[in-house]
Amino acid sequence: MYEAVYAHPDGESTASRAAVAAGRYDYDGVVVRALDASPDYDRLREALDVDLVDAVEIDASNPERASGAVGNYRPQRELLILRGGTNALNRFAVEQPRVDVLSRPMEGNGNFNHVLAKAARDNGVRVEFDFGPVLRSDGGTRVQAISALRKLRELVEYYDAPYVVSATPSSHLQLRSPRELAGLGEVIGFDREQVLDGLREWGRLAARNRERMSESFIAPGVKRGRYEEDD
């Protein structure tokens, strides 16, 4: 299971500290949602027994800017996350097969509907369930965040759209272990397995993209190398 974290200077802990903490919290690795962070991934992967995924989070003000950033970062990074939060950005993200994850779709003025859910399914864009506000806010904001999660979940379930789960931690103290998140998910209406599966999805995405970026990959189902042995 993987968690997607913000690392210094985007968050309060460096990528290595987040990775060490994630290891203690029973994660196999972390996805570093870098806005400005640029840790030395090769060195950290070698020194730690926790995997680090070189990801970028695009925080653009409008689809035009986002589009430029997507084209720019896609070939460089292992995982591409686009932060939603407005209807235009949510729409843009789910219609781009090049985007891996639509992050925080319900934040701010953002909303989600059946059209977006279908587009997300058809384009394989993972919709993120952001548990951050449920974990770290209270009162009215939290109630709104929980009801937004419910709406998003019902749409994602109905249209069978792919999804990921994250607590969006910006320091190692904001990490929570998979079992805790599953327990919390159950209270707010998720299925236990659903939450854990959302955490595993980060790992599956990273593995898929790494395979695609490897030298031997040509197209899905086609790769350079020896013939496969038939049994």
Partner 1 sequence: MKHLPKHLRPRRRYLAVEIETWPDADLARGPFQRELWYAAQNLYGDAGSADADLTVLGFDYADGIAETIVRARRGHVEDARAALACIDAVGGDPVGVRVRGVSGTVRACSERYLHGRAGISEERTVVFENESRTAVVRDSLLDVGGSDGFTGATQLDFE
Question: Which strand ranges, in their side-by-side order, compose the sheet holding 79-83?
Answer: 2-5, 29-34, 51-58, 79-83, 101-103, 126-130, 163-166
Binding of residue 13 to partner 1 (CB under 8 A): yes
Tell me how far, at minimum, the Cβ of 146 lies from partner 1, in Å.
Answer: 10
x/- track of binding to partner 1 for residues 165-184 (CB under 8 A): ------xxxxxxx-xxxxxx
CA atoms within 13 A on the CB side of 107: 18
Name which of 16 and 90 has its Cβ closer to partner 1: 16
- Closest to 3 (Cα-Cα) out of 191, 120, 225, 176: 176
- Closest to 104 (Cα-Cα) out of 93, 95, 119: 93
Sequence length of the chain is 231
Q: Distance of alpha carbon 83 from its chain centroid, rounded?
A: 10
Among 1, 2, 6, 14, binds partner 1 (CB under 8 A): 14
Name which of 35 and 135 has its Cβ closer to partner 1: 135
Q: How far is CA 192 from CA 151, 168, 205, in A?
A: 18, 19, 21
x/- track of binding to partner 1 for residues 103-142 (CB under 8 A): -------------------------------xxx-x---x
Tell me how far, at minimum, the Cβ of 189 lies from partner 1, in Å.
Answer: 12
- Residues at the site binding partner 1, with contacts judged by CB under 8 A: 8, 12-14, 16-18, 20-21, 24-25, 43-44, 47-48, 134-136, 138, 142, 171-177, 179-184, 186-187
